[in-house]
Amino acid sequence: MTPYENFSFFIYLLIPLVPAVLLGMAGATGRARAAWVLLSTLGMLLFIAEPQSVLYQITAYLLFEWILIRLYLAYRTREAGENRAHVFYWMIFLSLLPLVVVKLNPSFIVLGFWHTVIGFLGISYLTFRTVGIIIEVRDGLIRDIRLLDFVSFVLFFPTLASGPIDRYRRFITDLHKPLNRQEYGELVIQGIDHIFRGFLYKFILAYLINKYWLDPLSHTFGFLPTVKYMYAYSFYLFFDFAGYSAFAIGVSYILGIKTPENFDKPFLSKNIKDFWNRWHISLSFWFRDYIYMRFVLDSAKKKRFKNRYTASYVGYLLLFGIMGIWHGTQLHYIVYGLYHALLMIGFDVLARKNKQRKFWGKGAGWDLLAILTTAQFVMFGFLIFSGRLG
């Protein structure tokens, strides 16, 4: 069963959530709550993983990633002070390998005779978590990982299928943090608020937009219908995805985990950089911290480019190119990624020139114009993402 896809799923959610509330209101220790998070995650995984072969795939994936991380931890401990890049890159490559196989060829032949299909719902988000751990091990921020903590973090069921993407150290801090009754009660209230927001977004607004606006345009082509489709798809995508995220965050809060927010009024963004600070925040920040910033800093250290802006622009092409491919290897996903890279580069160039020539000013009127202009560029990007133009 896909999490948060229908109302029946929320009935089953009572099984892990009711005991979590009882433990929290009773002032249970962080250790007791952590044990329940683990048991709940494993129990819900048995329920979500259908057919049974998916459970085997998740188990194999988890074991594979755990072995990689333990090997890298052992290497970093044994080779104290050493930080050989090739070992790190091999670990990253191997950690990404299952996802790469799924993206490129989910159906393949094993040992020349056994045809199988690999991949399961949420493998992308699990991969982000495990790769993030390897990167932070390399940075010396993570020096040891317990197996049970690793399982709880990677398979945390509220965010298993659709994120948000959390960070290991932040998650583990919440997992073992002692909460008194008042602190936990505040989390529950915030969690319930997120869940009701999710119902509003996904089951009311996204449903109505899809039924009465988007679906009627799906088989109507031409310039004007395509423009209407662009707006309909953009709003549907936001409310559907933001609804999923609100559910995941709300359930996490009730379990005592403050999963980070994923959306912050993205259609009120004043420029494209502002948009990526508001849209799918956990993903955009993950790419920013682990790909863009590292590439730019490494380029400056090695003097890869004469102009510092060139490093930044190549970084944008790398970042959004990878982000596009992460969504899928189809051409429209790749074009979507490169489109946003060009928007980021273009805005940076204009922003620097604006300091000298003043193309735009300040004030409520300019802010409104900036919001409306940014929204058009963003929504055209969603039109590319939808595949309708291809």
For the stretch 265-324, pLDDT in tens is 999 999 999 999 999 999 999 999 999 999 999 999 888 988 889 999 999 999 999 999
Contacts of residue 55, defined as CB under 8 A and 6 or more positions apart, other chains included, come to 45, 46, 49
Among the listed residues 194, 280, 327, 332, the single catalytic one is: 327
The CA distance from 166 to 163, in Å, is 8
Q: Is 327 a catalytic residue?
A: yes
State pLDDT tens for residues 317-350: 999 999 999 888 899 999 999 999 999 999 999 9
pTM, whole model, 2 decimals?
A: 0.92
Domains of the chain, residue spans: 7-176, 181-254, 266-386
Instruction: Give me the long-range contacts of 93-97 (CB less than 8 A, separation at least 24).
Output: 94/68, 95/65, 95/68, 95/127, 95/130, 95/131, 95/134, 96/127, 96/131
State pLDDT tens for residues 139-159: 999 999 999 999 999 999 999
Q: Give the pLDDT score at 251.
A: 98
Contact 348, 309 (CB under 8 A): yes
Burial pattern 147-160, b for ≥16 Cβ within 10 A else e, equals: eebbbbbbbbbbbb
Reduce the DSSP state of residue 361 to 3 states and report it.
coil
